C-alpha cells in the first residue's frame, strides 16, 4: 500500500473516532480584516442546514454537490470553517447524494468529472477515496479512462467531458498513487499553439480558455510538466486585464472573481508572483465591505455590478482559492480551525496574507437572489434536468455569470457536459 493510501486510511479512521466524540461548545466567530478568511467565513454561514448548497428552480430545491465541493476547497485553503468542511463531506457521502452526483441516480450513467472532483476533495480532507459513501471513487474514475488517456462520461446524453474533467482526474489520481502516463500525455497534447488550454476538448479549433488553463496548469505542475506549465502561464499572464482581473471568453469589462480566482491560484502556484498579487488586489476590491448590509459583509462579489447572494457563492469560493494561492495538489486539512471569521469593521480590510497589501473597496449591495437557475425553464421536469446538469457542470465555476441558455443540447457538466433537451444553452453559467 502506498504512503498516500496509508495516510488516507489512517486519516479516515481518525475522522471516525473524532465523529464519535461529543462536540465542544462552538465559540463566537472571531473578527478579522483578512479577505480570504472572512470570505470563507461568510460562505460557511450560507450553507443550507450547515452542510450543503442548493439550486432552486421554480420553487423546487435541488442539491448542488458541485458548489458544495467548491466551498469545501475554499474552507480548506483558507484554513477556517473546518467544521463546515467536515459536515459538507459527510453530506456528500450520503448514499442518495453521492449516487445522484456520480451517476444521475442511474447505474447506467457515470460522470468522469464528478468522480474526479469528488476524489480530489475527499483526499484534500484526509479521507479515503476508495471507500467514501460506499463508493470507490478511484476505481470509478479509472474505469472511465479511454485508450487515448481521456476521461470520458458514460451517459445516454453523450460525452461532454472537458478540460476541467481531465485536470481534476490527473490531480486526483496523482495524489493517490500517481496519474496514468496516458492521462498526462493526453492532457499535454491538448495545449493550443498559443500556450493555453481549451475548455472543449478535441474541438476543430483549439481555443485557449482562462479557467481551463488555470486548472490544467495546476495539474501539469503536480506531475512535473514544468515546461508546458510555464508556456500556459505565459498565455495566462497575457490574458490578464490592466486592473488585475481575468474575463470569461467573449466577456467585456475588468473581469470577474471566478475566473480571476482560478487564474490567481495557478499564477501563484506557478511562481508568477507579480501577476498573482495584481489578481489578488482585484479580488480584494470586490469584497463586500462594512458600509454594505450586514448579511453580505465579507463576501466576494462576482464583478463590479455588486453583490448578489446567488453569484457571490461561487465567486467567494473561487476568490478564496485565488487569494490563498495554494495548488489543488497541495491543499491539506493541517492547521485548519473550526471558526468562521467575520469581517472586522473596526479597521479597513486589507488583502489576504498571500497577496500584496492593498485597500479593499466596498461593492454595491443588491437584493440577494435565491436561485441560480435557467430562468426560462418551463416545466418542473425540465427544471430538474437543468438543476442536476448545472450542478454537474460545477467541477469548478468558470467566469460566466448566471444567465440565459442558448441553443438546444449540451449543458456543461461538472464532470462533463450533460446533453439535455432544452430551449436554450447556457451562456453564463459555465462552471467546472
* pLDDT band per the 50, 70, 90 thresholds, residue 252: confident
Q: What end-to-end distance do the CA atoms of the chain give, in Å?
A: 32
Task: Find the domain containing 137 and state its range.
Answer: 3-8+29-420
Q: Per the domain annotation, does 142 fall within a domain?
A: yes
What is the average per-residue pLDDT within 91-108? 96
Q: Per the domain annotation, does 23 fall within a domain?
A: no
Count of structural domains, the chain: 1
pLDDT above 90 covers a percentage of the chain that reads 69
What is the average per-residue pLDDT within 328-357? 76
Q: Per the domain annotation, does 428 fall within a domain?
A: no
What is the average per-residue pLDDT within 110-116? 98
Tens digit of pLDDT for each residue in 4-62? 444 444 444 444 433 433 333 345 789 999 999 999 999 999 999 999 999 988 899 99
Residue 278: the pLDDT is 98
Task: Say which CATH number the domain at 135 has.
Answer: 1.50.10.20
Q: Per the domain annotation, does 431 fall within a domain?
A: no
Give me the residues paired with residue 145 across strands: 151
Q: Per the domain annotation, does 141 fall within a domain?
A: yes
What is the average per-residue pLDDT within 306-312? 94
Residue 318: the pLDDT is 98
* pLDDT band per the 50, 70, 90 thresholds, residue 250: confident
| C-alpha cell, 378 | 418551463
* pLDDT band per the 50, 70, 90 thresholds, residue 348: low
pLDDT above 70 covers a percentage of the chain that reads 74
Query: Is 70 exceeded by the pLDDT of residue 162?
Result: yes
Query: Is 80 exceeded by the pLDDT of residue 327?
Result: yes
Q: Per the domain annotation, does 17 fall within a domain?
A: no
Residue 362: the pLDDT is 38
Q: Per the domain annotation, does 426 fall within a domain?
A: no
Q: Per the domain annotation, does 148 fall within a domain?
A: yes
Residue 28: the pLDDT is 72
Query: Is 50 exceeded by the pLDDT of residue 288?
Result: yes
Amino acid at each position: 500500500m502506498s504512503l498516500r493510501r496509508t495516510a488516507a486510511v489512517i486519516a479516515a479512521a481518525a475522522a471516525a473516532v473524532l465523529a464519535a466524540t461529543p462536540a465542544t461548545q462552538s465559540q463566537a466567530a472571531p473578527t478579522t480584516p483578512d479577505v480570504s478568511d472572512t470570505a470563507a467565513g461568510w460562505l460557511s454561514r450560507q450553507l443550507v442546514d450547515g452542510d450543503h448548497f442548493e439550486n432552486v428552480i421554480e420553487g423546487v430545491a435541488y442539491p448542488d454537490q458541485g458548489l458544495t465541493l467548491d466551498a469545501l476547497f475554499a474552507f480548506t485553503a483558507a484554513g477556517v470553517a473546518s467544521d463546515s468542511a467536515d459536515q459538507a463531506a459527510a453530506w456528500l457521502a450520503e448514499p442518495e447524494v453521492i449516487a445522484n452526483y456520480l451517476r444521475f441516480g442511474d447505474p447506467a450513467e457515470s460522470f468522469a468529472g464528478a468522480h474526479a472532483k469528488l476524489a480530489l476533495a475527499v483526499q484534500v480532507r484526509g479521507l479515503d477515496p476508495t471507500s467514501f459513501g460506499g463508493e470507490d471513487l478511484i476505481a470509478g474514475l479509472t474505469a472511465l479512462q479511454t485508450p487515448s488517456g481521456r476521461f470520458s462520461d458514460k451517459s445516454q446524453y453523450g460525452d461532454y467531458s472537458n478540460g476541467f474533467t481531465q485536470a481534476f482526474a490527473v490531480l486526483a489520481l496523482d495524489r493517490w498513487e500517481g496519474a496514468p502516463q496516458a492521462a498526462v500525455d493526453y492532457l499535454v497534447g491538448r495545449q493550443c499553439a498559443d500556450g493555453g488550454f481549451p475548455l472543449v476538448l478535441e474541438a476543430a479549433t483549439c481555443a485557449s480558455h482562462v479557467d481551463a488553463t488555470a486548472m490544467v496548469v495546476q495539474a501539469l505542475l503536480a506531475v512535473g510538466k514544468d515546461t508546458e506549465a510555464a508556456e500556459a502561464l505565459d498565455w495566462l499572464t497575457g490574458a490578464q486585464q490592466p486592473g488585475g482581473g481575468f474575463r470569461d471568453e467573449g466577456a467585456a469589462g475588468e473581469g470577474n472573481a471566478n475566473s480571476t480566482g482560478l487564474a490567481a491560484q495557478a499564477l501563484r502556484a506557478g511562481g508568477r508572483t507579480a501577476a498573482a498579487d495584481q489578481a489578488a488586489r482585484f479580488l480584494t476590491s470586490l469584497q463586500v465591505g462594512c458600509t454594505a448590509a450586514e448579511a453580505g459583509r465579507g463576501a466576494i462579489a462576482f464583478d463590479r455590478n455588486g453583490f448578489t447572494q446567488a453569484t457571490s457563492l461561487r465567486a467567494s469560493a473561487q476568490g478564496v482559492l485565488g487569494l490563498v494561492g495554494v495548488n489543488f495538489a497541495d491543499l491539506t486539512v493541517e492547521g485548519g480551525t473550526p471558526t468562521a471569521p467575520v469581517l472586522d469593521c473596526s479597521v479597513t480590510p486589507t488583502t489576504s496574507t498571500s497577496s500584496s497589501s492593498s485597500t479593499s473597496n466596498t461593492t454595491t449591495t443588491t437584493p440577494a437572489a435565491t436561485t441560480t437557475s435557467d430562468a426560462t425553464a418551463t416545466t418542473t421536469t425540465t427544471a430538474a434536468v437543468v438543476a442536476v446538469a448545472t450542478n454537474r457542470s460545477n467541477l469548478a465555476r468558470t467566469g460566466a455569470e448566471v444567465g440565459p441558455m442558448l441553443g438546444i443540447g449540451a449543458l456543461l457538466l461538472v464532470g462533463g457536459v450533460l446533453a439535455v433537451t432544452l430551449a436554450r444553452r447556457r451562456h453564463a453559467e459555465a462552471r467546472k
